[in-house]
Amino acid sequence: MLYSEKVMDHFTHPRNVGIIEDADGVGEVGNAKCGDIMKIYLKISDGIITDVKFNTFGCGSAIASSSMATEMIKGKPISEALTLTNKAVVEALEGLPAHKLHCSVLAEEAVKAAIKDYYDKNGIEYDKSQFPDCASCAHCAID
């Protein structure tokens, strides 16, 4: 079987799908050329991610990665969400095929982009090394 049961579950029954109209932070990553675009919306109160939603245009692995990533950061402090890695998403999904690992990278980048947007909107200082820009991201280089 190509995909784990966990991947299939998060693809066929994705969690936290939608838009938060008055989101405190929004992160959009991806590239129409490679086919996956991921958007994550955060609601933050007292440094805690109280709600998170996503919209993803892409394959089953991209949808499953988005769903799992939102589950992993919901209810967590921003500092903990910033430590989310694509490897942790893959492990939580019980694996992804090698040619689909870029989907988990997108999920990590979308979470970080949404947190960066929150920091920027609120004038909060942050360590810029935690937020690589798209030019340095490996997403499309992996394909």
Q: Mark whether 140 is an active-site residue.
A: no
Rounded Cα gap, residues 45 and 31, in angstroms: 31
Q: Which of 59, 103, 137, 140 is catalytic?
A: 103
The alpha carbon torsion through 120, 125, 129, 130 (nearest 10 deg) reads -70
Measured CA to CA, the distance from residue 77 to residue 126 in angstroms comes to 15
Alpha-carbon span 109 to 69, nearest angstrom: 10
Distance CA 103, CA 54 (A): 14
59 noted as active-site residue:
no
Residue for token pair 């947190």: 115
Residue 76 belongs to what H/E stretch?
none
Catalytic residues: 34, 103
